[in-house]
């Protein structure tokens, strides 16, 4: 039996990148998958392609994780289509990078609305059914920014530190209810967003090479590597893991300095 057979999984921000890789891996593991994505084009495309590739039941639900009403509609649509969610992956997020005194109030609120509030809103939407069932898994995709800071990236690491705190606090609250809540902190990952960042550099090839050279393993993380860890945390094989933050960054966070 595949690890997630008969499970219903919601993956936010699954239209591309890490979220899409997780959604595909969950489908391969037998889950019914809801692509909860703000971008209708990428979300619908991801759901269709994953269903065709894996044969799994998938659907796309347009979702703004920062809007409680939108999340409530997504949770209700999941319930109608597949039954209550037994797995939630809070993957949706945005990069908001500034020098602190250059940051506007609007950008502060925008960062926290998606990167921290959005995860809590989604947790709040699915937890009652998980508690009633006495079983469930929630995985928060965080970042190395949840425990270390790069200058010039404010307030993103503040939100990510908060998300790690949310993970640990909720994990203790609901462990006795049979719900395993954990986090994954990826390092620099080879996604379309990363490629777009390199493309903005004066020399994109050099920009990528310099970034890869900073990684102890000499390359960026592959989204499928993160998806593999997410599949484990979503499964009943990892139910004794509570409030942990699995770091998958090629070793960059344990290196002191050059």
Tell me which DSSP letter residue 115 carries: I
Q: Give CA–CA dist 52/119, Å, rounded.
A: 29
What is Dmax (Cα atoms) for the chain?
54
- Domain membership of residue 107 (yes or no) is yes
pTM of the model: 0.96
The CATH number covering residue 105 comes to 3.40.50.720
- Domain membership of residue 206 (yes or no) is no
- Domain membership of residue 254 (yes or no) is no
Provide the domain limits for residue 20: 8-189+222-249
pLDDT tens track, the chain, 258 positions: 699 999 999 999 999 999 999 999 999 999 999 999 999 999 999 999 999 999 999 999 999 999 999 999 999 999 999 999 999 999 999 999 999 999 999 999 999 999 999 999 999 999 999 999 999 999 999 999 999 988 999 999 999 999 999 999 999 999 999 999 999 999 999 998 888 889 999 999 999 999 999 999 999 999 999 999 999 999 999 999 999 999 999 999 998 776
- Domain membership of residue 159 (yes or no) is yes
Cβ contacts of residue 28 below 8 Å, gap of 6+?
2, 54, 56
R_g of the chain, CA atoms, integer Å: 18
Q: Which residues are catalytic?
A: 156
pLDDT number for residue 258: 65
Burial state string for 53-74 with b = 16 or more CB within 10 A and e = fewer than 16: ebebebbbbbbbbbbbebbebb
Cα 26 vs. chain centroid, distance in angstroms?
13
- Domain membership of residue 142 (yes or no) is yes
pLDDT number for residue 105: 97
pLDDT number for residue 129: 98
Neighbours of 7 (CB within 10 A): 24
Burial class (CB in 10 A: 0-12, 13-18, 19+), 199: exposed
In the numeric block, the tokens 């509030």 are attached to 117
pLDDT number for residue 1: 61
- Domain membership of residue 210 (yes or no) is no
User: 10-46 pLDDT, tens per residue?
Assistant: 999 999 999 999 999 999 999 999 999 999 999 999 9
Q: How many domains does the chain have?
A: 1
């Amino acid at each position: 039996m595949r690890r997630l057979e008969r499970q219903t999984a919601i993956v936010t921000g699954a239209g591309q990148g890490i979220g899409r890789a997780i959604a595909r891996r969950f489908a391969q593991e037998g889950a019914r998958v809801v692509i909860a994505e703000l971008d209708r084009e990428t979300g619908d495309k991801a759901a269709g392609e994953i269903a065709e590739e894996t044969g799994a039941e998938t659907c796309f639900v347009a979702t703004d994780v920062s809007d409680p009403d939108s999340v409530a509609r997504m949770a209700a649509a999941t319930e109608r289509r597949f039954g209550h969610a037994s797995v939630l992956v809070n993957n949706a997020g945005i990069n908001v990078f500034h020098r602190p005194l250059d940051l506007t109030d609007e950008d502060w609120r925008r960062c926290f609305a998606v990167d921290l509030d959005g995860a809590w809103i989604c947790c709040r939407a699915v937890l009652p059914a998980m508690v009633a069932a006495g079983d469930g898994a929630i995985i928060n995709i965080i970042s190395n920014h949840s425990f270390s800071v790069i200058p010039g990236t404010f307030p993103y690491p503040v939100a990510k530190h908060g998300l790690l705190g949310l993970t640990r606090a909720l994990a203790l609250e609901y462990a006795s209810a049979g719900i395993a809540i954990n986090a994954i902190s990826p390092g620099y990952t080879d996604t379309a967003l990363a490629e777009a960042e390199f493309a903005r550099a004066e020399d994109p090839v050099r920009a990528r090479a310099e970034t890869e050279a900073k990684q102890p393993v000499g390359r960026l993380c592959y989204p499928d590597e993160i998806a593999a860890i997410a599949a484990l945390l979503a499964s009943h094989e990892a139910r004794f893991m509570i409030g942990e933050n699995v770091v998958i960054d090629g070793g960059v966070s344990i290196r002191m300095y050059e």
